[in-house]
Structure formats: C-alpha cells, structure tokens
Amino acid sequence: MGRPTLARLHYLERTQWLSQDELVTRQMASLGRLLWHAYDNVPYYRRTFREAGVSPGDVRTPDDIRRLPLLSRAEVRESLAERKSTAPPFPTIQKTTSGSTGTPITIAYDEESEHWRQGIKWRGYGWAHFRPGDRVMHYWGPPQIKPPFSKRAKITVDRMMRRERYVDCVAQDEAGLANAVETIRRFKPAVVISYSQAGGNLARYINQTQAKDWGTIPFICTAEQLFAHDRVEIEKAFGPSVFDSYGGRETMLLAMECDAHEGLHVSMENILLEVLVTDENGKKRPALPGETGEVVVTDLHNFGAPLIRYANGDLAKAMPEGHCSCGRALPRIRSVEGRKADTLIDGFGGQVHGMLFPVLMLPLARAVQQYQAVQHKDRSITLRIVPSANFDDGARRFIMESLRRTIRGVPIALHLVDEIPVTPSGKRRPVIVET
C-alpha cells in the first residue's frame, strides 16, 4: 500500500468515529471545494450550473444539493471530454465499466481521488477483519481484457507477493466448484471476496457436498445483489462473518457492512450518496426510512473529471433512523436492490418490481439452486430454474400461483434447466427485461 493511500486510511480510521454533525460539516466542506472547482474549471459544469440557474455558493446544506442538475448514465457517456478539468488536477486514470445495464461507460479521475478510493476500500475491508498482507481468495468473473503474456506473468508474481488468489466464478460446473473448494483447502484464505450470487452458488455446493472442513472465513460479497437465501447458504459454508458491500467501478466502495451487520455504512468522506424517490408530481425527494429509491452519487474527491449527482441506475433501500450498534455515525443504507431496468410490466401496464423473484424464491431455497426470469417484448415471461433434488410439484404450483397473482395478465412459462448462462463479465442477472 502506497504512502498516500496509507495516509488516507489513517485519516479515515479516525473520521469513522466522529459525530454525525462533524461528519456532515466535513462532507459539506468537501462538496463546496468540488463545486467551486467544477464551476471554475470544468466546462460541462459551468454550462449546466448556469442553465439550472445555480452557483456553488447556493449549496450550503445537504438539502441544497438537490438544486443541482442530475447526471444520467447517458450524459456520463456523452460528456466525458467536456467534463475533464482544464486546470490541475488532470484526470490521469480512465476506466470503462462493464455495463451491467448493457451500455458500457467510461469515467476518468485524478490520482488524489484514487488514494481516497483505496483508503475507503481498505477501511471497509478492515471491518471484515481483512488486513493488507492477509491471504485473500477472489471468487470473481474473468478479467475482460487479457493482458499480453509478459504482463500476465508479472501480475501472477504480484498476486503471489500480495498473497492473492483468483478463482474464476464463471465456471460453476462440478469441476469449477470443486476447484474452488480445493483452493480454499490448500491456500487457506484469511478472507474471501466474491460475487454475491456466485458465492451463494459455491456455498450451496459446499453445503450439499458437506465439503466444509474449515472454521469461519470472513466473506465479503460484492458486485452483485446479495439475496437473503444466498446469505443463508454462505453463512452455513463460511461462518457468520458475511459482509455485504456496495461498490462500482465509477467510484469504488460506496457502502459496506460493519461487523454489527445492521445495514451498510456509506463512505461519506469520499462520496455523497442520495436515495431519491419520484413523487406523484414527478418531483424527486429523499427516500423515507424503509423506502426504496434511485441511487444518486457525488464523487467528492474527483476533481479531474467530476461526477456530480450521478444517477447510476442502482436502487437502494433507505435505512430506519438511528445509530448502528457499532457506534459509527456514518449513515447507512439497508440494502442495494436490483437494477432500475429490472421492473416488469403486467398485462395491464402496471409495474412489478424485479425484487418479486428473490422474495418468491426465499422459501424455496432448498428446492431452487438458481433461477432467471426473462420478460420478453410481448410481456410474456420465461422463468428458468435449476432445480435441486427437493424441487417437486408443490414447489412448481407455489411458483406459478404466486406469479399469476402478482404479474397478472401475461403468459408465464416455467422451464427446468441444467444451467443458466452468465453474462460475458461473469455476472448473473436474475431478472432481465427485454426492451
């Protein structure tokens, strides 16, 4: 870990124990610096702030931020050149996201922002008892672009030095799952970082084959939504130290569960996260406790190519008020939910939230290994299920009757299959709406 990252980490280890008032004061100071920099040096924001009739001086309280315009995924994609700062710090790092909504976007940021990202990541992983230098097994999708051989060799050496081991989670046949178990036994990771649903699948295999011959291994879930039925399996296979996290390539770790397991603490020293609900007049307001809303994120330390009020397409559930029993005043979200695109439409034009399926499958954890629901353009639904031995007519009836009650007026077909294909990046999409 480089010195600048270490300095951020030490700072963040202290700020996590500050009072809510002090945290908000510091966050507003960071926001003010970002907004003035963007207004003075970034053509895109100078233009859009003026069009909206706001100046950075108008934003004094957290509520005032809603006077600033939102930045959609489409706008992020189209505005990169105009969003780059014309004064230092310049964006020296560029990344393309895998585009789980089907449209990849490129974002850029400066080195200082990278140090903050890394500091936030290491603090969050620390909550899961993971220290730099610990052995870690990544159960992840394959890298999208394979580096040339020489570079790949160097990466292998680096990973061994850093005591990291990567296991491809796309290979979820018998051999792939057995290989993952073998890696756990031989490599003895101090922590596993895993795609959430792939990890659920691995855990299910471990439980079914009674392969567990290890104690508790902290298990950090990432990249995919963590479903309750997968969490149950992971806790059985790896012990109770299961930590949900919410990250993205645009801003890295947005929120992470602490060891009180009472929701995910937002990384508010590095980002400003809003959860917004659209009311009946089409106006957006902050979600009330327990409500699900759109995630809007402001990247506080990225001056190179700022992201201000970026609606990233994710949905999160707002947390009831009150402090976490760990003592940290960092605000929390309850959970991150399916992508916004995962809303289904019934035969009468009504919206049906994609969360229907994980809720429906919860009592069927012993009968259903995997599933994927696809709503086609004609609104008909195909539900594919990888059954386990416990799947029977009762389970089939329960599913069909529940679906016919909830998504009324559309034809529903249930197919039992051997496997469900993953996207090229290795992510699973439990609900797909074809548009």
Using CB under 5 A, list all residues that contact Zn ion: 258, 260, 324, 326, 328
Cβ distance to Zn ion smaller for residue 44 or 127: 127
- As measured in angstroms, the least distance from the Cβ of 24 to Zn ion is 17
Cβ distance to Zn ion smaller for residue 37 or 328: 328
Element (H, E) at 62: none
- As measured in angstroms, the least distance from the Cβ of 318 to Zn ion is 16
- As measured in angstroms, the least distance from the Cβ of 191 to Zn ion is 18
7: which residues sit within 8 A by CB, 6+ positions away? 115, 119
CA distance 110 to 305: 8
Note whether 342 and 354 are within 8 A (CB). Answer: yes
Cβ distance to Zn ion smaller for residue 327 or 424: 327
- As measured in angstroms, the least distance from the Cβ of 240 to Zn ion is 15
DSSP-assigned states of every residue in 112-157:
HHHHHHHHHHHHHHHHTT--TTS-EEEEEPPPSSPPPHHHHHHHHH
Note whether 307 and 69 are within 8 A (CB). Answer: no
- As measured in angstroms, the least distance from the Cβ of 123 to Zn ion is 12
Amino acid at 247: G
Cβ distance to Zn ion smaller for residue 324 or 385: 324
**Tokens 């992971």, residue located:** 234
Element (H, E) at 195: strand 191-195
Cβ distance to Zn ion smaller for residue 31 or 256: 256
Cβ distance to Zn ion smaller for residue 6 or 326: 326
Question: Tell me, what DSSP letter sits at residue 217?
Answer: -
- As measured in angstroms, the least distance from the Cβ of 258 to Zn ion is 3
Q: Is 412 helix (H, G, I), strand (E, B) or coil?
A: strand
Amino acid at 402: S
* Sign, CA torsion 157/161/162/168: positive
- As measured in angstroms, the least distance from the Cβ of 324 to Zn ion is 3
Cβ distance to Zn ion smaller for residue 324 or 365: 324
State the greatest distance between any 2 C-alpha atoms of the chain, in Å, as a whole number.
66
Element (H, E) at 32: helix 20-41
Cβ distance to Zn ion smaller for residue 80 or 326: 326
Q: Is 245 helix (H, G, I), strand (E, B) or coil?
A: strand
Cβ distance to Zn ion smaller for residue 189 or 263: 263
CA distance 352 to 67: 31
Cβ distance to Zn ion smaller for residue 327 or 411: 327
- As measured in angstroms, the least distance from the Cβ of 403 to Zn ion is 37
Single out the residue of 229, 203, 197 nearest to residue 217, CA to CA. Answer: 203
Note whether 37 and 83 are within 8 A (CB). Answer: no
- As measured in angstroms, the least distance from the Cβ of 326 to Zn ion is 3
- As measured in angstroms, the least distance from the Cβ of 291 to Zn ion is 21
The token pair at 424 is 């090229």
Cβ distance to Zn ion smaller for residue 112 or 262: 262
Cβ distance to Zn ion smaller for residue 324 or 360: 324
- As measured in angstroms, the least distance from the Cβ of 27 to Zn ion is 18
DSSP-assigned states of every residue in 359-410:
HHHGGGTTTEEEEEEEE-TTS-EEEEEEE-TT--HHHHHHHHHHHHHHSTTS
Sheet holding 381-387, edge to edge: 412-416, 381-387, 368-375, 431-433
Question: Tell me, what DSSP letter sits at residue 71?
Answer: B
- As measured in angstroms, the least distance from the Cβ of 328 to Zn ion is 5
Single out the residue of 308, 298, 312, 228 nearest to residue 266, CA to CA. Answer: 298
